[in-house]
Amino acid sequence: MTDRYCVFGNPVAHSKSPAIHTAFAAQTGEEIEYTAIEAPLEDFAGAWRHFVAEGGRGANVTVPFKEEAFRLCDTLSERARRAGAANTLILGGNGASDDAKVYGDTTDGVGLVRDLRRHGVTLAGARVLVLGAGGAVRGVLEPLLAEGPASLLVANRTAEKAARLAADFRDLGEITGGGFDAVAGPFDLVINGTSASLSGDLPPLPDDLFTAGATAYDMMYGAEPTVFLRWAVERGARPCDGLGMLVEQAAESFFQWRSKRPDTAPVLAALRHSLG
């Protein structure tokens, strides 16, 4: 019997996850079926239960359901607990004795760190700036801090939100938080975790933000560079978008489900080509 997996979201028709996981399955010889399911905004838990009743073994979860996914889990990874969100659900995961128990993890931060490594970015000893203080940022801070940066500043339009977020992770490393007006560079790595790129906006940032050879990373991606990446290139930074993060976080989910780690390079190349 073919094991079933899916991605839950609303909307979700645009998701590239089915193509990614279908490619992973073909590459590794795994017999799986992976689909996209648009869960009702008011009943994600019901959509999950229905999926399990029909033979579902695990799922990815995207906006706006990551916090709801977190709440329905019986057990959680440490990084999911820190993030307060889950993007990967596994029935009977983490060695659970009860196959009906739900294990939750978040693979976004792992995906980001692996993609940064692929781009040759060294996080150990680096000065890092992360823009935004929402769920996308919360989900990547633990893996970023595990790499041992010299400092990590979280900057957000609402300074208090950034400060509270930094305080939640202060036991893991050198992290502070504040408003955009408190940003003083230069930084070796600047990560845009805001949704500004979706609307073509740019956070208010100083021109002297980057060290020589710095990397600018936008968690968003598209056929063309985001406004943040275009702005960064004009100031001498090397641009990287979030397509590789998407593929790498999917690979981590696939590994947890199937205990096989796919080769992400050809899948990423195919996705990049499809963007035109």
Residue 131 corresponds to which amino acid?
Answer: L
Query: Could you tell me the CATH number of the domain that includes residue 187?
Result: 3.40.50.720
Q: Which residues are catalytic?
A: 66
Position 7: which residue type? V
pLDDT digits (tens, 9 = 90+) for 134-186: 989 999 999 999 999 999 999 999 999 999 999 999 999 999 999 999 899 89
- DSSP string for residues in 214-225: EEEEES---SS-
Assess whether 202 and 140 both reside in one domain. Answer: yes
| Residue 155, C-beta contacts closer than 8 angstroms, at least 6 positions apart | 129, 130, 131, 132, 162, 177, 178, 179, 180, 182, 183, 203
Query: pLDDT value at position 228?
Result: 96
Residues 130, 93 share a domain: no
Secondary structure (H, E, C), 44-55: HHHHHHHHHHCC
Q: Looking at this protein, which amino acid is placed at residue 159?
A: A
Whether residue 195 is found in the same domain as residue 260: no
> Does 63 lie in the same domain as 30?
yes
Enter the pTM of the model: 0.94
The domain that holds 74 is classified in CATH as 3.40.50.10860
Residue 191: is it exposed, middle or buried by C-beta count within 10 angstroms (0-12/13-18/19+)?
buried
**114 in the same domain as 99:** no
| Whether residue 253 sits in one domain with residue 214 | no
* Whether residues 72 and 144 fall in one domain: no
Range of the domain at 36: 3-106+245-274
Q: How many domains does the chain have?
A: 2
User: What pLDDT, in 10s, does the model give residues 32-90?
Assistant: 999 999 999 999 999 999 999 999 999 999 999 999 999 999 999 999 999 999 999 99
Let me know whether 61 and 158 are in one domain.
no
Pair (54, 125) in one structural domain: no
> 252-264 pLDDT, tens per residue?
999 999 999 999 9
Q: Are residues 62 and 141 in the same domain?
A: no
Kindly state whether residues 237 and 249 are assigned to the same domain.
no
Residues 210 and 134 in one domain: yes
**Cα gap 228→226, rounded to integer Å:** 5
pLDDT one-digit tens code per residue, 225-253: 999 999 999 999 999 999 999 999 999 99
Which residue, among 49, 45, 17, has the nearest Cα to 33 in the 3D structure? 17
> What does the buried/exposed string (b/e) look like for 111-144 if buried means 16 or more CB atoms within 10 Å of the residue's CB?
bbbbbbebeebebeebbbbbbbbebbbbbbbbbb
Which of these, 193, 178, 95, 179, lies nearest to 137 by C-alpha position?
A: 193
